[in-house]
Chains A and B, each alone.
Chain A
């Protein structure tokens, strides 16, 4: 049953839709905020999976887009532009521009150079944000309130915001699913498997990879826009390289190249973080070695693990 490709994502989204209902019984705003965060990072992780899982582009600077989307929202708001549409357009445009420029340069390189260059560009965004003294510098920028929907404060309600984020997540998921199955997606996946073959049949991978990079960057920026709305705070820390690393961890933990694996990975990562940090403030001492073990012994992530279990049962 677990092998049915549609079932897992549907189940996943149904579970996420039910989270606020649990809140009805235990009156726990904390649960709602945790899962809002899970979904926002899941959006970012899906966008990373689009280029990582389907294009083999190991971007180690993906958190930069989250930061850029968040800063676009925060900076506009600090100038009195608090409308949803203005913030959204700005976040998407800024992340698209950054993706276009850095992608155009990074994609000229291959393999490990690409990893390091995206990492370096991510750091560039980080330090640039930290040096913006007018917008809080290192300390970050507090946003007065969430974006206004046609002048109304609709999103201030956490439950409304939760469902808005869920709808965004489902929308992003469907969008990426569609892209992956499209003509464009085929070329992207072909270039991942064998760029030389793609050239020989008449495709130059570069423009397709660049387009995918820009799309992924814009979705990342969208996630950042949502994050700034949730926390009502923007900080350079959103784009630190550890954040980029964590996004990769989410994608791999869930199961690379499946899109919904990224959602599972984001949930697993954040819940694990919550759970482990309940035991000790030094939870990373446990989590770090876990990552090493996952790499050494758990190929295919959680989805791969599930598939193996159900395969063993059926076989």
Chain B
């Protein structure tokens, strides 16, 4: 195992972690505050990426596209909230799962109709092209560093909002004890809408940021959705801090596992052919094993927001 590769993979893991956090944050808040399980959260991420494609094509620049795509992602999220989701808040989880599953089918197919089934791409903005040296002789793409930086900045901002503003106070109270919040005379419908729109925008932001380095295609939201589920289950549902720590953890374990599993198996004395055969299978299981281990000892995750 060489140190340069290790350093680069750590950064890749961090980048995946930051992205997962952006998606998981909305999911965990929506669940924590509204007791609403939203499978369609992943399609918000996909929509963000597609909006980035469209607005970059229109404006010629990702920087200009970003605010437009964000607004559009927010608008789409709010439309979904008003038309469908708000009628599901008081239903049981099974019905929520079913209805949001229907939304996924619709939107995954919908983007195929609008944008076609072929993968699309967004150019990396000129200012962020190329690589820089992060250590002696180690080059790393600037754009990926930008993703990590902006993700961490959002995480910090979210931390400040949650812990130091009135809305944040209500969100915290809501994810510990929702009846109390409505008893305080807060307009719970409006709070729900704010939380939901916010979550949709964060997921959309993740989609926009990733668009230049990933192919934009239908169904891209499904994979990240399930990873985000793993993250919020490990972190503890309703906890932003838990989501952050778990996201970074999952990002690192998944990335490092994939790049080094074969080497590790070989260092335990497995033959190269066997290691190459088994390695990928094991590395794709790693985060689920991690999740199982965490839940075995803490059935409500690392930082449970409430006693569910």
Contact = CB atoms under 8 A, between A and B. Distances in A.
Contacts of B107: 288
Contacts of A124: 284-285, 288
Given A58-B97, A116-B232, A132-B281, A285 B37 contact: no
Interface string A284-297: 11011111101110
B237 A113 contact: yes
Interface stretch (A6-14, A78-86, A104-112): A104-112
Nearest to A295: B99
B101 interface: yes
A123 B110 CA distance: 24
Interface stretch (B15-23, B122-130, B294-302): B294-302
Contact of A113 (B94, B108, B285, B308): B308
Contacts of B237: 112-113
Interface in B280-308: 280-281, 283-285, 288, 291-292, 295-296, 299-301, 308
A299 to B, nearest CB: 9
A121 interface: yes
Given A112-B93, A295-B95, A120 B233 contact: yes
Given A109-B300, A132-B281, A252-B94, A291 B110 contact: no
**Taking chain B's interface residues, is the majority helix, strand, or loop, or is none over half, making it mixed?**
helix
Interface string A247-260: 01100100000000
Contact of B295 (A52, A60, A108): A108
Nearest to B108: A284
Contacts of A113: 233, 237, 295, 299-301, 308
A231 interface: no
B167 interface: no
**Taking chain A's interface residues, is the majority helix, strand, or loop, or is none over half, making it mixed?**
helix
Contact of A109 (B95, B229, B295): B295
A117 B233 contact: yes
Interface stretch (B63-71, B83-91, B184-192): B83-91
Count chain B CB atoms within 10 A of each CB in A112, A241, A242, A290 and give the residue with the most: A112
Contacts of B263: none
Contact of A295 (B98, B108, B109): B98
A102 B97 CA distance: 21
B183 interface: no
Nearest to B112: A282
A248 B299 contact: no
Nearest to B95: A295
A202 B65 CA distance: 62
B6 interface: no
A204 to B, nearest CB: 15
B295 A119 contact: no
B285 A127 contact: yes
Contacts of A284: 105-106, 108-109
B31 interface: yes
Contacts of B226: 119-120, 123, 241
Given A108-B299, A128-B285, A289 B102 contact: yes
Interface in B164-217: none
Given A130-B284, A282-B109, A108 B296 contact: yes
A18 to B, nearest CB: 31
Contact of A241 (B88, B112, B222, B291): B222
B230 interface: yes
Count chain A CB atoms within 10 A of each CB in B37, B91, B233 and give the residue with the most: B233
A182 interface: no
B14 interface: no
Interface residues of A, number: 45
Nearest to B104: A288
Interface in A127-168: 127-128, 130-134
A130 B281 CA distance: 8
A112 B31 contact: yes
A288 B288 contact: no
B103 interface: yes
Interface in A262-310: 282-285, 287-292, 294-296
B299 A289 contact: no
A195 interface: no
Interface string B212-238: 000000000010001001101100010
B154 to A, nearest CB: 23
A120 B110 CA distance: 26
A124 B287 CA distance: 9
Contact of A116 (B84, B105, B110, B229): B229
Given A105-B296, A113-B295, A289-B106, 8 more contacts: A109-B299, A109-B300, A116-B229, A120-B233, A241-B222, A284-B105, A291-B98, A291-B102
Interface of B: 31, 37, 39, 84, 87-88, 91, 93-95, 97-99, 101-110, 112-113, 222, 226, 229-230, 232-233, 237, 277, 280-281, 283-285, 288, 291-292, 295-296, 299-301, 308
22 contacts: A58-B93, A58-B94, A105-B296, A112-B93, A113-B301, A115-B37, A117-B291, A117-B295, A120-B288, A121-B292, A123-B288, A127-B284, A134-B277, A245-B97, A245-B101, A282-B113, A284-B109, A288-B104, A289-B102, A291-B101, A295-B95, A296-B88
The 7 closest A-B pairs by CB, nearest first: A291-B102, A288-B106, A288-B105, A127-B284, A124-B288, A131-B280, A284-B109
